[in-house]
Amino acid sequence: MPTWVDSAKPDFITLQEVRAANDIALTVLEGTGYTTISHDAEAKGRAGVAVMARTQPVEVREGLGTDGYFDRAGRWLETDYRLGDGSLLTLVSAYVHSGEVDTPKQEDKYRFLDRMTVRLPELAETADHVLITGDLNVCHTERDLKNWKANRKKAGFLPEERGYFDGFFGDVGFVDVHRELSGDVDGPYTWWSMRGQAFDNNAGWRIDYQMATPELAQAAVKATVDKADSWAERWSDHAPLVIDYEVPAPK
């Protein structure tokens, strides 16, 4: 039976919240025509990120931070690929904590975002192109959340969280590629609650991103949120964010 991968045929796929041990994830994804790198979480059945590519990476790095705190969290995976023109692409699959106000979960979320603020410019110094992809669990602006007024005090739309994204797309120097291509419109959303009528009413959140260094962002030509036609046909509470870049194919 044809799958989304069969029809979309992307060069790269990044996955978040895989929730499977590496050996299981690799067995399930074997035979897809992709080389898969999986980074599972120490906590079984939690988190987990992966990168699938049509070529082998030249280097892989797991975890985020020099203190080892997030090394086994299954939330940050860096993979380097050589593009056809010889340039180096660092592709990251990231899964930021969902958080919960006034709990240790929110403290971990801020600690993770702190580490991202440090790591992003480091990556930009060592690669020709950097692309951070994944479920970042923050709506940056009111355009990114349908019911933003009702969620102003909830994790995912807190002023402190949004401030980090002001930095990512400001002084840190990365570009919100999806927003640049979509323009000043509501959404396009990438996540809808499985409860109630959120999907049918398009009451969504834009929490999945592709954050790129400027030169790579300029090569982006098309963004699509591959939303299912109906609630019954969806296979996740997220929809794939697909962006086309006019760059030489990976070697």
Asked whether the beta carbons of 57 and 81 are under 8 A apart, the reply is: yes
Exposed, middle or buried: residue 153 (CB in 10 Å: 0-12, 13-18, 19+)?
exposed
Active site includes 238?
yes
Q: How far apart are the first and last CA of the chain?
A: 29
Cα separation, 54 vs 15, in Å, equals 15
Residues for the chain: how many in total?
251
Any binding-site annotation on 137? Answer: yes
Q: Is 67 annotated as a binding residue?
A: no
Residue 160, annotated ligand binder? no
Catalytic residue among 34, 81, 95, 189: 95
- 17 is annotated as contributing to ligand binding: yes
Identify residue 98 by its one-letter amino acid code: S
How is residue 146 written in tokens?
């349908």
Specify whether 97 is catalytic: no
Known catalytic membership, residue 140: no
List C-alpha distances in Å: 71 to 40, 41, 63, 64. Answer: 10, 9, 4, 6
The catalytic position among 40, 108, 135, 176 is: 135
Q: Looking at this protein, which amino acid is placed at residue 212?
A: A
What's the angle, vertex CA 45, arms to CA 44 and CA 50, rounded to 5?
100
Is 140 a known ligand-binding residue? Answer: no
Q: Which residues are annotated as a binding site for Mg(2+)?
A: 17, 135, 137, 237-238
Catalytically active residues, by annotation: 95, 135, 238
Q: Which residues are annotated as a binding site?
A: 17, 135, 137, 237-238
